[in-house]
């Protein structure tokens, strides 16, 4: 997969389109909300930028025996939230403005943090089958081109042609969901004979990362006195990561398709847990009305 047209061309271009779509949903005011909601944003950032990678390391060391899978899980934990987290927050009736703000800020910060965290994971879990040398400049450039640049272009387009941007953004969101499903199928298919063993070993780790971080995000939010809507947003942002970005880095920058397995399985898990959260939140809100 790492040498195919799909991973070298189609995957990056598709992710650029998805990030462009995210930019269409953002405004400069989304970044300014840091001042308006400092406590909520701070809780979300600490959960996602500090606790999430730390828990990823712990689970990888505890559950995963294969170094490539361990690095892949940490890579996933290092990624920012994505459009999926915003969608789930919206459906769960959370604070969408807070969700979008956290996604926007972490998408910028992770250009710097992902190379550092992944480099540490490669050193920690390295063996003869996993490359220790990390192309940091290339990774940072890739992250800039794949994430920050298309997001910025999307934001500019929204400011210039807001009506057109609002019509285009939902279509790109649908494209992103369909493409992610296709991506998961391709990755799982290309693993061939090793797939069953990888799913058996990686599935529990990916699900544990997803559930544990959603619970931690919720407990942090409630512990700091945030309201139910804000707590829902932080639960999703801390627990739902941009798995498509993790897959791209694993297959193109790191050149190891096995490292993409945790992200592929995680993509399935996050829709199950995210859907459960949506059902629970709507049930609770319905009870309040009654």
pLDDT, tens digit (0-9, with 9 covering 90-100), for 245-265: 888 888 888 878 888 889 888
Pairwise CA distance, residues 237 & 198, whole Å: 27
Cβ–Cβ < 8 Å for 114, 79: yes
Q: How many domains does the chain have?
A: 1
Looking up residue 212, the CATH number of its domain turns out to be: 1.20.1530.20
Q: Is 290 within the bounds of a domain?
A: no
The arithmetic mean of pLDDT across residues 149-168, rounded, is 87
Tell me how far apart the alpha carbons of residues 33 and 212 are, in angstroms, rounded to a whole number: 27
Global pTM reads 0.81
Most confident region among 175-184, 202-211, 246-255, 278-287 by mean pLDDT: 202-211
Asked if pLDDT for residue 194 goes beyond 70, the answer is no
Domain assignment present for 48: yes
Instruction: Decide if pLDDT at 50 tops 90.
Output: yes
pLDDT digits (tens, 9 = 90+) for 56-72: 999 999 988 888 899 99
In a domain, 289, yes or no: no
For residue range 10-49, list pLDDT tens digits in order: 777 877 887 788 788 777 776 676 677 789 999 999 999 9
Domain with 188 in it = 5-283
Residue 140 resides in a domain: yes
- Asked if 96 and 25 count as a contact pair (C-beta separation under 8 A), the reply is no
pLDDT at res. 14 = 77
Assigned domain for 104 exists: yes
Residue with more model confidence, 277 or 86:
277
């Amino acid at each position: 997969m790492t040498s195919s047209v799909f991973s070298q061309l189609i995957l990056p271009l598709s992710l650029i389109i998805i990030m462009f779509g995210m930019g269409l949903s953002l405004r400069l005011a989304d970044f300014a909300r840091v001042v308006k909601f400092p406590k909520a944003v701070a809780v979300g950032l600490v959960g996602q930028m500090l606790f999430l990678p730390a828990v990823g390391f712990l689970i990888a060391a505890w559950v995963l025996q294969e170094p490539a899978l361990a690095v892949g899980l940490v890579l996933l934990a290092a990624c920012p939230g994505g459009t999926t987290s915003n969608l789930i927050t919206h459906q769960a009736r959370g604070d969408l403005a807070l969700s979008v703000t956290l996604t926007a800020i972490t998408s910028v910060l992770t250009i710097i943090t992902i190379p550092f965290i992944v480099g540490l994971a490669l050193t920690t879990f390295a063996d003869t089958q996993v490359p220790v040398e990390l192309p940091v400049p290339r990774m940072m450039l890739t992250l800039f081109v794949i994430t920050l640049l298309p997001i910025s272009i999307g934001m500019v387009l929204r400011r210039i042609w807001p009506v057109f941007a609002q019509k285009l953004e939902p279509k790109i969101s649908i494209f992103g969901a369909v493409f992610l499903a296709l991506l998961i199928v391709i990755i799982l298919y290309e693993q061939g004979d090793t797939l069953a063993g990888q799913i058996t070993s990686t599935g529990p780790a990916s699900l544990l990362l997803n559930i544990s971080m959603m619970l931690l995000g919720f407990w942090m939010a409630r512990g700091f006195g945030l309201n139910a809507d804000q707590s829902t947003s932080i639960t999703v942002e801390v627990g739902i990561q941009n798995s498509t970005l993790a897959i791209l880095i694993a297959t193109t920058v790191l050149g190891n398709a096995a490292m993409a397995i945790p992200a592929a399985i995680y993509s399935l898990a996050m829709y199950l847990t995210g859907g459960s959260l949506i059902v629970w939140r709507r049930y609770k809100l319905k009870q309040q009305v009654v």
